[in-house]
Amino acid sequence: MGKTKLSFFFFGLGFAFIWKGLTAPYVSPGFQNTIIQIVVALAFVLFWKPLERFNKNQQVIWIVAALSSLSNMCLFIGAANPDLAYVSNLVSGFATGSFMAFVILWSELYVRMNAVSACYVFSASYILGSAGYFMFALLPQSFYPGITLILPFLSAAFITISLRSTPEPKILSRQNSMESFQSNRVIQTTASLYHFKLVPWATLISLSLVIFCEGFIRLHTTPSLDLLSAGIGGCITIIVVFLFNRHYSIFSIYRISLIVVISCIVFVLLILGYGLYSQILINVSCTLTMTILVLILCDRSYRFGVSVLFLNGIGRSFTQTMFLLGSLTGMGIEVITNMPNHSAAIILAAAAVAALSFIVLMRSSRPSKNDIAMQTPSIPLDLFDLESTPILKKTGNTSDASSSPIKFKSTGWQTEDTQIEPALSSSQDASELLHSIMRQRCEKISEEYHLSERECEVLYLLATGNSGRTIQELLTISYNTVKTHMQHIYTKLGIHSRKELELLVLSDHDE
């Protein structure tokens, strides 16, 4: 997939971070705001279909912007008039809930980009939000009501312009036929269950455990610390992806980054203890974790055609719930031990949870025994969108292609510029065409995600339905080596099963 041409309008989510920081001191304290955020996220999970239909022309984002502006104004009115203090208590939930809705709705833009472009845009939005917050914080507080009144509408205008100027993602070819193909593999599924099956649960649990750990020890943070850490986290993400994207899969970068985040949490807790610098490092870790989560979910929607509102609703409800549980647990330990939150009990407990998330992360891309042993039917030719596939003509070396299933450079077919459906003269031609298309797709995937030559061969054999034992015999390698290659492929492609691998090969995004 090609890189997306970036526009200034893509960074409008930063305005949401600015108004959240400016209004944070006026929001009533308490966990009820986090609970409202969880409820809003769950609403996207339960009602993603009507929301997507209703939001065709971004009506939802403008409604949310209006609610945000109204809530922000009420917060300042309640703060300025002690007799109306109850107003702030009433609208605090609307303010936090509308911010959560804004973040989820903005994910509709990231799903129209490849993983690298989405990473740059989302991280730059953090930087813009951080810089804008500290710039506006220099102004007198009398300016805050006007600023927070305008920013939600400005953010809504930016995403509306961005979505109208960015083409919708080309999702899986022949979606209905593909779902029927999956059903034939004894995966009986409704549309909703189909979505649930493509949620990266293991990765989500690992990230949620990290968020739980961060909620455990972020009891006494401030808006300034949060926004400063968000800016630092955004800078780190952009630098890391820029330096390593040419040589590593984006999912390998995410995985390594998350390992570094977990290691930093343990290091900070056990070595530095609890203080200002450790608090900043923990907040930066939280920013990096949320960035990885949002980008993984958006990329999954981009590649597999799952609703981005549905995926991000699940992700946000998971993480907010874990953050709430972490905060409550930390407070409980404080009360029981009668010690502040830098006590040894909290430090050791948080370190243990971080270690657990590391274990879950390590196992998330490990292929199951069933995946390795699975011998699946070959993907039918009619599932591929041949109308968007370059016409293929025989070159005369088909015998070489058929003699070895992994000679990628001798497929027996050549591509032409004409974008029409190839005429098939026989079932043998159809079979050869199918294998040629599969080779092309696997080569394209291998180049994009930086698979080695041997991993490319294993990918092709997996995509054509071969079991681990068959691959072992074809490539004359050990069974453990096959499992190792499969784990590397799963990690680099950001997938967790053979079904997802087949869907990835079936999907076809324009350059």
Identify the pLDDT of residue 261.
77
pLDDT of residue 173: 37
Report the C-alpha gap between 302 and 468 in whole angstroms. 29
DSSP class of residue 272?
A: I
- Non-local (6+) Cβ contacts of 336 within 8 A are none
Question: What does DSSP assign to residue 342?
Answer: T
Question: Tokens in use for 484?
Answer: 């190792």
The first and second tokens of residue 145, run together, are 């009501």
Tokens 């490092």 sit at which residue? Answer: 281
pLDDT at 390 (0 to 100): 44
| Angle between helices 59-80 and 144-165 in degrees, nearest 10 | 170
What span, in angstroms and rounded, lies between the C-alpha atoms of 304 and 326?
32
Q: For the chain of 511 residues, list the mean pLDDT of each consecutive stretch of 10.
A: 66 92 84 88 89 80 92 85 73 87 91 86 93 92 91 93 80 41 36 63 80 71 85 91 84 79 72 69 82 85 83 91 85 71 58 67 67 62 46 41 40 38 48 75 86 90 86 88 90 82 70 42
Q: What are 414's strand-pairing partners?
A: 393
Residue 86: how many other CB atoms lie within 10 Å: 10
What does the alpha-carbon distance between residue 197 and residue 208 come to, in Å, rounded to a whole number?
18
pTM of the predicted model as reported, rounded to 2 decimal places:
0.79
Distance CA 47, CA 458 (A): 40
Angle between helices 344-364 and 201-217 (to 10 degrees): 170
Distance CA 316, CA 290 (A): 9
- State the Cα–Cα distance between residues 463 and 376, nearest whole angstrom: 9
DSSP code string of 392-457: EEE-S-HHHHHH-TT-TT--SEEE-S--SPPP--SHHHHHHHHHHHHHHHHHHHHHHTT--HHHHH
What CA–CA distances, in Å, run from 448 to 115, 188, 274, 497? Answer: 11, 32, 42, 19
What pLDDT is recorded for position 194? 53
Tokens of 199: 């949620």
SS3 220: coil
Q: What is the pLDDT of residue 417?
A: 38
Instruction: Give the torsion through C-alpha atoms of 373, 199, 241, 16, to 10 deg.
Output: 180
Q: Residues near 193 by Cβ (< 8 Å), separated by ≥ 6? A: none
Q: Can you give the pLDDT at residue 349?
A: 63
Task: Outline where 24-54 has alpha helix (H).
Answer: 32-46, 48-54
Q: With H, G, I as helix, E, B as strand and everything else as coil, classify residue 340.
A: coil
Determine contact, residues 168/378, Cβ cutoff 8 Å.
Answer: no
412, 436 contact by CB (below 8 A): yes
> Could you give all domains of the chain from N- to C-terminal order, each with its CATH number?
8-168+199-364 (1.20.1250.20), 370-506 (1.10.10.10)
- The pLDDT of residue 287 is 84
CB atoms within 10 A of CB 243: 11
Residue 253: predicted pLDDT: 82
Q: Please say whether the beta carbons of 103 and 16 come within 8 A.
A: yes
